[in-house]
Amino acid sequence: MWLFGRKGASGFSSSSTAEQVTEGIDGTGFTAIVTGASSGIGTETTRVLALRGVHVIMGVRNMLAAKDVKETILKEIPSAKVDAMELDLSSMKSVRKFASEFKSSGLPLNILILSKDKIELQFATNHIGHFLLTNLLLDTIKKTSRESKKEGRIVNVSSEAHRFAYSEGICFDKINDESSYNNWRAYGQSKLANILHANELTRRLKEDGVDISANSLHPGTITTNLFRHNSAVNGLINVIGRLVLKNVQQGAATTCYVALHPQVKGISGKYFSDSNLAKTTAQGTDSDLAKKLWDFSMDLTK
């Protein structure tokens, strides 16, 4: 349990949980897609959105794990509306299939939450898959927003790791260059891409005059998925982690806050942490870099 949380302007802090930041909010009639929903903070995000009345579609690779998640949620919340659809963000074919099947379902789409429940050092998974899925579902979100007269929300789960991207931010000419590859820098690059994607999407949505926001966020460092491959470090984390790191309920808070809270209405192209507005690096607000990334991503997904 995080002990050192100080409340920000929103009234919430690093110790706030997803249930606390959504208390009293009625999401009945809303439909949300949550990727990476079969474990960790993705599962908790799904549970809390369902608790607030949102119909949640889990986009997952492991359908058996998703079945277990759904059953667990229904035991706690019998009235919950939770469904699962297969989605592998590292495969453009899978992303296109998912988007096609969702659109064929005729369901509305109010909220799109793009998150990962594990650290994967693949630019294609952490950014390109999200980029393509968003583009394929954008018309559905726009249609839902127009017909419901309610703001649509696109939420990119990024990370403070964006601060450790390569010096040039995005290595457009070396995305697949093994000779210059660095695991941590590559992960930071993909998380910076999540922020830039939300920023450029905001600019384009404003030009279109639609009532849809796009924001990015840092969920916090979670005790359950850190240093899991290092037994010595993991042992130390188990001892002190509960005091200084977030649990899953706290880790899902900012995602749920940005997705549902009225305080976020009308706010777009921003970065959040601990359920409050936060600052990125200079690269995270570079509009030229954001546009270049958009064009680069469009070329890759044609």
Instruction: State the chain's maximal CA–CA distance in angstroms.
Output: 54
The answer to whether 276 touches 267, Cβ cutoff 8 Å, is no
> How are beta strands 276-278 and 271-273 bridged, if at all?
antiparallel
DSSP lists the bridge partners of residue 58 as: 34, 84
Question: Please, are residues 262 and 30 in contact by the beta-carbon 8 Å criterion?
Answer: no
Chain CA centroid to CA 85, Å: 17
Closest CA to 192 of 168, 208, 174: 168
Name every residue whose Cβ is closer than 8 Å to that of residue 9 and which is 6 or more positions away in sequence. 276, 277
**Residues written for the chain:** 302
Pick the catalytic residue from 166, 181, 187, 257.
Answer: 181
Q: Tell me whether residue 181 is one of the annotated catalytic residues.
A: yes
Alpha-carbon dihedral of residues 268, 274, 280, 281, nearest 10 degrees? -170
The one-letter amino acid code at 243 reads L
Distance in angstroms (rounded) separating the CA atoms of residues 253 and 48: 9
The residues that are catalytic are: 181
